[in-house]
Amino acid sequence: MKRSERYEAVLRHFAEVSPHVTTELEFGSVFQLLVATVLSAQCTDKRVNQVTPELFRHYPDAAAMAEADPEDVLSFISSISYPNSKAKHPRELSVAIQEKFGGKVPSALDESHPVCRVWGARPPTCCLPLPFQRLQCPSTPCLSCEHRMGLVPKSAATPLAVERCLTKNIPEALLADAHHWLLLHGRYVCTSRKPHCENCPFKGSAPKSWISRAISHQRRSACLLFNNRKFVAWV
């Protein structure tokens, strides 16, 4: 199957089974979505949703968050991954929004914007497409998913390379939905550590080399779990 045909099949399937896809993060405004997305890096949406209600109750918008003490933010987000590092980002992000955009999240972002430079990451890894309407490359666990599905070549070894390949092959009108489709597929089916290949709707069209690799990893992980009594994550 040609890669273009694979894209058509994958997008058609997702559009049929999940036409109204959206983020699992809970938020009350575009600003809150942006902050929640920053906090969700290397963390589950479920965990982030457990801490953001209280955080947003105290700091509901950019104006309030710009005055926040990172130590106070840390007290609200201490249960998520990398809390010490993330505690400073909401305030720095809010200060940039206040100073550069009058307190409103801009409708479009790129790496030149101060909002994106705040935490030293490109927008594909830290912003969701709901307010920005562009493809945001899913986080690291999903990169193996896109390779296994045959959507990107093996040479696409970085998030930026994967994003460029995806944006080249996915129609612009579907970019926002494609972000969530791929993210959720990687989160619940094509998982990084132990992919559920038996439940994958694309197992018949995915490249055999990647399917074999995923199955091999499943067996290897089980062996490591049995012999060493601990799980070694798939990278």
Is 25 contained in some domain?
no
Q: Are residues 149 and 199 in the same domain?
A: yes
Contacts of 61 (CB under 8 A, 6+ apart): 29, 31, 103
Instruction: Give the CA radius of gyration of the chain.
Output: 19
**Residue 98 is part of which domain span?**
30-127
Q: Are residues 164 and 206 in the same domain?
A: yes
pLDDT at 214: 44
pLDDT at 191: 85
Q: Are residues 5 and 99 in the same domain?
A: no
pLDDT at 84: 95
- List the CATH number of the domain containing 88: 1.10.340.30
pLDDT at 135: 45
> Which of 98, 127, 156 is at the close of a domain?
127
pLDDT at 220: 39
Secondary element (H or E) of residue 77: helix 70-77
Distance in angstroms (rounded) separating the CA atoms of residues 148 and 151:
8
pLDDT at 94: 93
pLDDT at 40: 86
pLDDT at 108: 61
Q: Are residues 139 and 211 in the same domain?
A: yes
pLDDT at 213: 52
Contacts of 60 (CB under 8 A, 6+ apart): 28, 29, 32
Structural domain count, the chain? 2
pLDDT at 143: 63
Q: Are residues 45 and 12 in the same domain?
A: no
> Which of 93, 127, 161 is at the close of a domain?
127
State the pTM of this model. Answer: 0.67
- In the chain, which stretches have pLDDT less than 70? 107-143, 206-235
